[in-house]
Chain A
Amino acid sequence: MTASMTNQGTAAHGRRTAPVYLDYAATTPVDPRVAAAMAECLTQEGAFGNPGSASHDYGDAANALVEAARREVAAAVGAEPEDIIWTSGATEANNLALFGIAAYYRDTGRHIVTVRTEHKAVLDPCRELERRGWRVTYLVPDRGGVLDPAEVAAALQPDTTLVSVMHVNNEIGVIQDIAAIAAVCAAHGTVRLHVDAAQSVGKCEVEFDRLGVDLMSLSAHKAYGPKGVGALVVSRKRGVQLRALQFGGGQERNLRSGTIATHQVVGMGTAFALAAATREPEALRIALLRDRLWRGLDALGGALRNGDAAHSVAHLLNVSFEDVEGESLLAAVRSSIAVSTGSACTSATQEPSYVLRALGRDERLAESSLRFSLGRFSTEADVEAAVAAVLRAVTRLRRIAGDPQARGGHELQ
């Protein structure tokens, strides 16, 4: 199937129309401008040299691009260029932050605070640290997914070394009050604050230094950059220390050894520069599409919006549908729209979303949820197609499931 980012009218030619892509929170297509910048680093005519090779011009040329990308990423998130540590993505950045801090401060404290609605890339390292003897407190947000900073304050203990809270939730789009949580951590003294901001860049303002964050995980492919590259922002001015997880060359301040993939980081730099430049108008345009999508779905009846709408990014809409079985719902819409149930990482297991369960949704409603995430290439036609597809599917499945009021049986005529 030839995929399309927009709702192409191929049906008129008798061919199957590609599903409308509304899963930008899972990943985004690489922006053509990003792809062009990356391509220039790959061939003999381009900056193909090893950026660590200081002994010739080829290395210098690649290194200049790497450092330019570092400045672009830093500028996009309000950090200093020397704070940027390249990684293979946000998962590696999260692992480096959690295990790196835990290892460095192991003799002063072994308590970590995080949230039940974090991404698995934070929760799974926390589980592993528990197996290794650390204690982890998992906070529960309110029913809208918002974490009260007072909950963080109450959870801190004398030996707490790290608080890890995501900025924008990947399933429901709720934005946490990172500035207030940072203030709580600062008041406590020695505790470090890590923020998973994989979903934030280009969607909402990210101000690493101003917020008082110690570490921040970033991903390129959520912001129209390539897969396989991300960064951990580690504040030098705040004196953050952590232990490396891999060795073999001492690149990236000895925190992440390995030859830097010039084309990947150049792609991330270009993507982040574009994201910063287009964030406000893009968010406004996408918010209008998101509202239109919600109005269309809400008209169906029995559609419940997940997450606190007043504290959410524009591009994400998570909806549970009453009286519809979750797997059937996804199967019924998948030829028309590409969406997720829960997060993309957990969809394969067909388990109800642990994020929605943490928000108090029952198992059935958590299973019958769809995450619509809009993006740079989404159009009004895409939204109209999505609404039509969901209305068709939900109506049909509710008909097959019968009238819920009559399911206990009724008198035979």
Chain B
Amino acid sequence: MNYNNLTTRHFEGALAAGVLTGRGVRRGAAGGRSQGTWVQFDMRIDSSKPVQTLEAVRFLAFACPHVIAVSDWIAQTALGREAKPVLPESVQSLRERFDVPIEKLGRLLIVEDAWIAAVSSPYRP
């Protein structure tokens, strides 16, 4: 399998890999290890502003290089943006940006599900 430069950079770097702890952290996950793809997002939201913005985002992934790279890119790109139950970019755009084979589309949907689950998880002050 060949990967484009963006995928390689985010797979090898994975700078946003990890977890967040403490008050106000929201967490959501999707997929399963037994299925071969599992993704979790942690996010801390700044609620002091009129528009809730993402203050910190981390991810964990048991997944192929494409999913790890996409998750890492999302975690970094979403910083400072409004916390919404939609990805910073559509699954189709992500597929093109990272040159993800069409047969892996289902794995990107798991990334999207994990993101939505995190944003939608109950806020704990």
Contact = CB atoms under 8 A, between A and B. Distances in A.
Contacts of B65: 327-328, 331
Contacts of A404: 33
Contact of A325 (B3, B23, B62, B124): B62
A68 B33 CA distance: 57
Given A412-B21, A412-B124, A400 B33 contact: no
A412 B33 contact: no
A401 B18 CA distance: 9
B93 interface: no
A367 interface: yes
Contact of B25 (A325, A400, A412): A412
B90 to A, nearest CB: 24
A363 interface: yes
B60 A363 contact: no
Interface string A264-288: 0000000000000000000000000
Contacts of A400: 14, 17, 60-61, 68
Contacts of B64: 325, 327-328
B62 A327 contact: no
Given A325-B62, A325-B63, A407-B29, A412 B23 contact: yes
A29 to B, nearest CB: 24
A331 B62 contact: no
A302 to B, nearest CB: 13
A325 B21 CA distance: 25
A399 B29 CA distance: 16
A253 B104 CA distance: 51
B98 interface: no
B62 A323 contact: yes
Interface in B10-40: 11-12, 14, 17, 19, 21-23, 25, 27, 29, 33-34, 36-38, 40
Interface in B63-103: 63-65, 68
Interface string A390-413: 000000100111101001010011
Given A327-B65, A328-B63, A350-B1, A399 B17 contact: yes
Nearest to A408: B29
B61 A412 contact: no
A323 B36 CA distance: 10
Nearest to A401: B62
A402 B59 CA distance: 9
A364 interface: yes
Nearest to B19: A402
Interface residues of A, number: 20
A53 B83 CA distance: 81
A330 to B, nearest CB: 8
Contacts of B1: 327, 331, 350
Most buried by B among A364, A401, A404, A413: A401
B23 A407 contact: no
B68 A412 contact: no
B66 to A, nearest CB: 9
A331 B68 CA distance: 12
Contact of A402 (B23, B25, B60): B60
Contact of A407 (B11, B14, B33, B68): B33
B40 A402 contact: yes
A363 B36 contact: yes
Nearest to B16: A400
A407 B27 CA distance: 11
Nearest to B8: A331
A287 to B, nearest CB: 33
A323 B34 CA distance: 10
Interface in A322-342: 323, 325, 327-328, 331-332
A328 B124 contact: no
Contacts of B22: 412-413
A402 B19 CA distance: 8
Interface string A78-98: 000000000000000000000
Contacts of A396: 14
Most buried by B among A364, A407, A409, A412: A412
10 contacts: A325-B37, A325-B62, A328-B11, A328-B64, A364-B33, A401-B62, A407-B33, A407-B62, A409-B29, A412-B27
Closest 9 CB pairs of A and B: A402-B60, A401-B62, A327-B64, A400-B17, A413-B21, A331-B65, A412-B25, A328-B65, A413-B22
Given A323-B33, A328-B63, A402-B60, 10 more contacts: A325-B36, A325-B64, A328-B65, A331-B11, A331-B65, A350-B1, A396-B14, A400-B17, A401-B60, A409-B27
